[in-house]
Structure 1
Amino acid sequence: MRIDFSNWKPLTIREVNNIFSRISIYWGVAGGCALDMHLGRKTREHSDTDIVIFREDQQMVYQLLKNEWTLYKAKDGKLSLWLEGEYLDAVSDIWISRDNQSPWAFQIMLMDCEQGNWIYRREKTIKVSKEELFSTEENNVPYLKPAIQLLYKGGSSQIREKDFSDFQSVLPSLSLKEKEWLKEALKRQFPLGHSWMKSLED
């Protein structure tokens, strides 16, 4: 088990792409880096590099990484080794380092899928076709579409300062359709209201 949660030396987007482009699965950059890729510019410093894959592809990714990396599953605030052959059905967060003492290099989040659709785990009625989940930047690196990434940020139980900053930075670039989708998704998750709603309605 490791407790050095802040010990990060994240891979670059190019380095991550070099790894994941070796297998044929749906994957993409997530988090603040994905929003910067959408904007085509760096809006702030990023302390980590986040990747999303579908839960059904986890064993293929494990085989891809196991010889060069050490993989940890995050559950209940603890990091423990992800063992070969172990299927993660209740874990959604994996931390990756070179060995058990090296800094963290990137993080993988497992997304759920049903009948070809991404399922938002916090409100399972929110679904998007796998094919509509990602965009690509000029070097053909996939990233989570901005409205979906903002739903993850805005749908968290605690919206951090950087999440609100990301929302403000990206909002002007969203199409009317994307704003409407995000607004309706937040309404579904938070029927009593959400602090971002007024900005999405302006």
Structure 2
Amino acid sequence: MYNIIKTQLSQFFANANFTWGVCGGMAIDFFVDQHTRDHKDIDLFSYTEKRKDIIDFMLKKGWRVFEACGGGIQHELTKSSLEEIDLSLYCIHSSNNDYTFTPYSTKNLEISRFRKNDATIKYLEDLYRSDVKMGYLVHDEKIQTKLDYVEFLFSDNNQPLLSYIDNVDVKLSWDNVILNRDGISYMCPEMVLLYKIGIADRLKKSQDKAYHIYEEECRSDFTTTYCLMNEVQRKWLKSALILTYPEAEEYIIKLDN
């Protein structure tokens, strides 16, 4: 499946006017250069300044584009916005019937300021006051076997170092963050694993019912990857975990081996 998705990504984004790369679990496949496990989605990263170009590109390709509004709420975009905001995008091919959009009954919601800059907060406040239809994207949890869904995640690239979102003291240079396989950029395994361990930690603390499934995937990705990482990568990940998630002892101990 990995080779099929890799070919489809290369062909689909061949003429894209923005920088993009693979992150999430699929990035582990790119690092290992083979299919490691089934994936329910494809995560891509890009830069906030390119978000408008991405929306235009996907809409022109005939895809539906939804914008994350916080709290699991989304709304569908029919055009790009001028604001440079970092809200994630969910892009669904018109032939993909695995996702359904269920309208939300009210907009009397509190806007979470967690991890949002001032421009994003203002954008959401204006959006919530508008008559835009909001709701939930529901996925039937099928394994993704072709390029018919992607999620774009955004970072600012105006700094030489990428700061980890849960601990700005944990940094890695963009030159080390972005690797390449057959002309496709992907996020380095140490950063992917840090994000995954962090998500598992938050799910556990919030007693989310998805924790056990996600933790199993996280453990699988780590086991597949850590023995193939070089000493510098393992040392960086170990230091990042000690600083941010010292309770993640099962991973920290293995990075010494």
Q: What TM-score do you get using the length of structure 1 for normalisation?
A: 0.82
- Among 66, 76, 97, which residue is 2:92 paired with? 97
Aligned position for 2:14: 21
Aligned position for 1:172: 227
Alpha-carbon distance, 1:178 to partner? 0.5
The question of 1:197 aligning with 2:252 is answered yes
Distance 1:147 1:128 in 2: 10
Aligned position for 1:31: 24
Alpha-carbon distance, 1:149 to partner? 0.8
Structure 1 or 2, whichever has the larger Rg, is 2
Aligned position for 1:144: 187
Q: What TM-score do you get using the length of structure 2 for normalisation?
A: 0.66
Aligned position for 2:143: none
Q: Which has the higher helix share?
A: 2
Alpha-carbon distance, 1:100 to partner? 9.8
SS in 2 for 1:150: helix
Distance 1:172 1:76 in 2: 36
- Among 66, 82, 102, which residue is 1:72 paired with? 66
The question of 1:127 aligning with 2:171 is answered yes
Q: Percent identity?
A: 21
Distance 2:7 2:162 in 1: 25
Letter in 1 for 2:34: R
Letter in 1 for 2:71: D
Alpha-carbon distance, 1:102 to partner? 4.2
Tell whether the 8 Å contact from 2:17 to 2:53 is kept in structure 1 after alignment: no
Query: Cα deviations across residues 109-140 of structure 1 (Å, max 9, x unaligned)?
Result: 11233423322211122222223221112x22
SS in 1 for 2:168: coil
User: What 5-or-longer segments of structure 1 have no aligned partner?
Assistant: 1-10
| Paired residue total | 189
The CA RMSD measured in Å over matched residues stands at 2.3
SS in 2 for 1:73: strand
Distance 2:71 2:242 in 1: 28
Tell whether the 8 Å contact from 1:12 to 1:49 is kept in structure 2 after alignment: no
Tell whether the 8 Å contact from 1:113 to 1:119 is kept in structure 2 after alignment: no
Alpha-carbon distance, 1:86 to partner? 5.2
The question of 1:109 aligning with 2:109 is answered no
